Amino acid sequence: MKKIVIINGPNLNRLGKREPEIYGSETLKDLETYVTDVATTLSCQVEFRQSNHEGDIIDWIHEAEGVKDGIILNPGAFTHYSYAIRDAVASVTVPLIEVHVSNVHAREEFRHHSVIAPVATGQIVGLGFTGYELALCALMK
């Protein structure tokens, strides 16, 4: 059975309360329930992590090497400036898909650029929770 780790970065623990007009009214727990159901259908094992701290995210990316078959990462605002997370992604061979709930390209200028995308396997933006589902499907292929 393939093992996938889903890492959500800063402020994603606030889903459901945070700017609902942008991120929707569903919570991180709802996201985890949704993705767990998808994982059951796809017969894969998913583990969820969330942190507001850059170092935690870097450690979890490193720990996935040789242990997980894929990483789904929503780096939150770190997307736009964390060279440390980018280097962590580049340092492992595990396929990684960057996911964003909102359409970052339709928002403020600073959200248009991802320092992670060039070292990610792929990127999905603007599809809400469906983005995580599609990322899981892609990693299973």
Number of residues lying near ligand DQA (CB under 6 A): 10
User: Which x/- pattern over 7-26 shows residues binding ligand DQA (rule: CB under 6 A)?
Assistant: ----x---------------
- Strands 45-50 and 70-74 turn out to be unpaired
Q: Among 47, 54, 111, 122, which residue sits at the site for ligand DQA (rule: CB under 6 A)?
A: 111
Q: Is 101 in the site for ligand DQA (CB under 6 A)?
A: yes
Q: Which residues pair with 37 in a beta bridge?
A: none
Of 40-48, 61-69, 71-79, 88-96: span binding ligand DQA (CB under 6 A): 71-79
Site for ligand DQA in 39-68 (CB under 6 A): none
For residue 119, give both structure tokens: 């070292």
CA distances to 31, 58, 71, 93, 106 from 65, in Å: 24, 12, 10, 7, 34
Of 24-32, 39-47, 49-57, 69-77: span binding ligand DQA (CB under 6 A): 69-77
Which member of 34, 80, 81, 100 is catalytic?
100
For residue 104, give both structure tokens: 């970052």
CB of 92 to ligand DQA, least distance (A): 20
- The answer to whether 107 touches 114, Cβ cutoff 8 Å, is no
Task: Provide the b/e sequence for 105-141 (b: ≥16 CB within 10 Å).
Answer: eeeeeebeebbbeebbeebbbebbbebbbbbbeebee
Cβ-based nearer residue to ligand DQA, 50 or 74? 74
Q: Is 104 in the site for ligand DQA (CB under 6 A)?
A: yes
CA gap 100, 74 in Å, rounded: 6
Q: Name the residues that contact ligand DQA, by CB under 6 A.
A: 11, 74, 76-77, 79, 100-102, 104, 111
